[in-house]
Amino acid sequence: MGHEESNSQTLTMPGYLPRVADREIETALRRRGAVLVEGCRTSGKTWAARNVARSEARLDDEATLLMAEADPAAVLRGATPRLLDEWQNTPWLWNRVRRECDDRARFGQFVLTGSAVPHDDITRHTGVGRIARVLMRPMSLYESGHSTGAMSLRRLLEGEATSSLPPGVGLRDVASAICTGGWPGSLELEEADARSSVADYVSEVVRVDIPSASGVRHRPVAVRRLMRSLARHVATEARTSTLVSDVGGKSVSGRSTVNAYLEALERVFLVENQPAWSVGLRSRATLRRAPKRHFVDPSLAASMLRASPERILADPSTFGLLFESLVVRDLRIYSQPDRGEVFHYRDDTGLEVDAVIERDDGRWIAVEVKLSPAPDVVDEAAKSLLRLRDKVAGNRVEDLAVLMVVTSTGPAYRRSDSVQVAPITALGP
């Protein structure tokens, strides 16, 4: 394939804040005919796509949809890269884009964005060699300007030790970040309005997105109960049977409905579970395989729990779980450009580690998440991390980059036992 140049200006929106995924999108366009930017609604996919696109077709517009049905080829014509926004509204375009990439034999032709996976799995024709995929999550604290980024996850994966003074952020600020979330459209809103915006978003998901994504009879009350149950069990390994019980049905049909709703929440990118880490052990411990439950952004859980920053501050247990979910969100975003994935660890001896970031070359970081930066709290977290290191088989210990305790506040420093301590407000890609 070759490259196509255009003198057209990109469609970048005024005030656009750079995203960690921007470079992924740009590099994908240099090696593939098209890139699909997918993720939940209002996460900033369209803004990021317009940052590289030179023309667009907005497929959430009725007139454009009619044109796509009458003359699909016309929708694909325009300066490249051409943005096809909310492509899942016209799923038949997927194969047209694949063929067009073949026919043009040029890189960087299309940017597709989508906030739902089509229910009929139209993308089973994967587009390998033609269409790359980039996941866009809500903003991390670094992207929204609430983290200094002094602690680069990439440099930590390379073994670099870092120290920095406290960023001047308090627990109230962290609680507020949990409740308002990483939604680009809410950055300029007052805290109360940003929280209301999250509640509006949930209502819209329940009213519009879940019915189209689930393929089952829609019961809004049941969906809300399920989301509230997920919120109560955020950052835990809650079983599906627990969720079914919370929703109010123990029958086979109740379980099948809950499973359908869970699948729908995944299809619209609102739920992103944290899988268990698969690793060779030198000990005889048995690994637990259940995933931890997470929303794509902790503000969704906070909204379902009707939690304000003040209520979170008054409930340390809930605060701790929501804070862990916030950390997992940011670690996912920061590790994504290096093809990193975020797991958790638990075995039958009672050893648990909140997060394990593993890069595709095998390098890994083990993370314990603690609200408090107090030395005694960090000491206990460090003990768990060191126990994990001692249990891991020798070939995996060689790939260990660092053991890290992520706190809500306080300084960043490297301990004498080589455990790195870092506040979330200093982390970055």
Query: Using one digit for the tens of pLDDT, what is the confidence trace for 361-404?
Result: 999 999 999 999 999 999 999 999 999 999 998 878 999 999 99
Q: Is residue 140 part of a domain?
A: no
Q: What pLDDT is recorded for position 11?
A: 80
Q: What pLDDT is recorded for position 7?
A: 44
Residues 355 and 400 in one domain: yes
CA–CA distance, 383 with 222 (Å, rounded to integer): 42
> What CATH code is carried by the domain that includes residue 41?
3.40.50.300
Structure tokens at 16: 């656009």
CA–CA distance, 138 with 187 (Å, rounded to integer): 12
Residues in the chain: 429
Q: What pLDDT is recorded for position 71?
A: 86
Residues 123 and 172 in one domain: no
Pick from 135, 164, 194: which residue ends a domain? 135
Residues 162 and 123 in one domain: no
SS3 assignment, position 119: coil
Structure tokens at 339: 């093809």
**Residue 295 clears pLDDT 80, i.e. is over it:** yes
What mean pLDDT comes out for the span 81-106?
90
pTM: 0.93
Computed over every residue of the chain, the mean pLDDT equals 91
User: Side chain identity at 38, as an amino acid letter?
Assistant: E
SS3 assignment, position 382: helix
CA–CA distance, 52 with 81 (Å, rounded to integer): 7
Under DSSP, the state recorded for 125 is S
Structure tokens at 259: 């499973």
The parent domain of residue 353 ranges over 151-428
Residues 110 and 251 in one domain: no
CA–CA distance, 408 with 424 (Å, rounded to integer): 6
Residues 121 and 157 in one domain: no
Q: Is residue 145 part of a domain?
A: no
Q: What pLDDT is recorded for position 8?
A: 56
Q: Is residue 371 part of a domain?
A: yes
**How many domains are contained in the chain?**
2
Q: What pLDDT is recorded for position 3?
A: 46
CA–CA distance, 354 with 181 (Å, rounded to integer): 21
DSSP for 185-252, written as a single string? GGTTS-HHHHHHHHHHHHHHIIIIIHHHHH-S---HHHHHHHHHHHHHTTTS---HHHHHHHHT--SH
Residues 112 and 159 in one domain: no
Structure tokens at 159: 């073994």
What pLDDT, in 10s, does the model give residues 115-144?
A: 887 755 555 455 566 899 999 999 999 999
CA–CA distance, 181 with 304 (Å, rounded to integer): 13
Q: Are 213 and 121 in contact (CB under 8 A)?
A: no
Pick from 135, 168, 191: which residue ends a domain? 135
Q: Is residue 115 part of a domain?
A: yes
Q: What pLDDT is recorded for position 126?
A: 58
Residues 157 and 114 in one domain: no
Q: What is the widest separation between alpha-carbon atoms in the chain?
A: 68
Q: Is residue 213 part of a domain?
A: yes
**Residue 284 clears pLDDT 50, i.e. is over it:** yes
Residues 180 and 279 in one domain: yes
Q: What pLDDT is recorded for position 239?
A: 94
Residues 197 and 344 in one domain: yes
Q: Which of 71-80, 241-250, 328-337 reaches the highest mean pLDDT?
A: 328-337
Structure tokens at 216: 């089952």
Structure tokens at 49: 């796509």
Q: How far is CA 161 from CA 168, 231, 333, 429, in A?
A: 21, 35, 21, 15
**Residue 201 clears pLDDT 90, i.e. is over it:** yes
Q: What pLDDT is recorded for position 381?
A: 98
Residues 196 and 301 in one domain: yes
Q: What pLDDT is recorded for position 137?
A: 97
> Which residues, other chains included, contact 83 with Cβ-Cβ below 8 Å and sequence gap of 6+?
11, 46, 49, 50, 53, 55, 56, 57, 110, 111, 112, 113
DSSP for 261-308, written as a single string? HHHHHHHTT-B--BPBPP--BSS-PPBP-PPBP-BSSHHHHHHHTT--
Q: What pLDDT is recorded for position 2?
A: 52
- Phi and psi (nearest 5°) for 47? -60, -45
**Residue 327 clears pLDDT 90, i.e. is over it:** yes
Residues 355 and 299 in one domain: yes
Q: What pLDDT is recorded for position 338?
A: 92
Pick from 68, 101, 135: which residue ends a domain? 135
